[in-house]
A and B are shown apart, each in its own frame.
Chain A
Amino acid sequence: MLNSYAVVGLYLLIALAFPFVTLLIVSLMRPSKPNPLKNSTYECGMETIGDTWVQFRAQYYLFALVFVIFDIEVVFLYPWAVAYGKLGLFALVEMVIFIGMLALALVYAWRKGILEWQ
């Protein structure tokens, strides 16, 4: 079993190295004449206004939060799905409860207006 992951590991290393090596090679070939104007942040050609890090609304965090909850649900869902063939009806009932609970979470988020994107 491990040697299949060995292949994946090897592939991973190469896949990781390939883009960066290419970048290095390319950076050698291309001209590099930095000047302040060129290096300024691109804002449709206008001077940058205000601080770079604009005030960040809780909105994004809440979305990530709901994503986390459902991500974990998925992690629980897959082994159940895999083992579902051999299990009896009780597996279905338990999963219904599990998903029901998280559907409740979704409904709560929905009612609380978190899913709307102002």
Chain B
Amino acid sequence: MIPLSWFLAVSAILFVIGFFGVLSRRNAIAILMGIELMLNAVNINVLAFWRYTQPENPAGLVWAIIVITVAAAEAAVGLALFIALYRLRTTVNIDEVDLLKG
């Protein structure tokens, strides 16, 4: 049987990679990809705990589905935003979008 900590390790690594992606990429859509990665990491974590603690309880699965749904909705709206942004500012570089500068 695959020990639980392996799954947690993989999800941790994936999360960190996603986070790095979000922080370091210039392009907005790349950031969105980073976010999707992070969400997947979370899902792995949830299901790992579901599988190794209460497999008979469907709560884990429900949570996973909800996370997927939210991720999809978030991606949809996020990309719509970036498209609108592109139409307005002809750029999708997050660097250039800093109107809220102090």
Contact = CB atoms under 8 A, between A and B. Distances in A.
Nearest to B66: A76
Mostly, the A contact residues are helix
Contacts of A69: 76
B68 A75 contact: yes
Interface in A64-86: 65, 68-69, 71-72, 75-76
Contact of A72 (B72, B79, B80): B72
Interface string A48-65: 000000000010010001
Contacts of A72: 68-69, 72-73
Contacts of A65: 76, 80
A61 B81 CA distance: 12
Contacts, number: 20
Contact of B83 (A58, A68, A76): A58
A68 B80 contact: no
Residues of A in contact with B, size category: under 10
B65 interface: yes
Contacts of A58: 83
Given A58-B83, A61-B83, A68 B76 contact: yes
Interface of B: 65, 68-69, 72-73, 75-76, 79-80, 83
Interface of A: 58, 61, 65, 68-69, 71-72, 75-76
Instruction: List the 3 closest pairs (A to B, CB-CB), nearest first.
Output: A72-B69, A65-B76, A68-B72
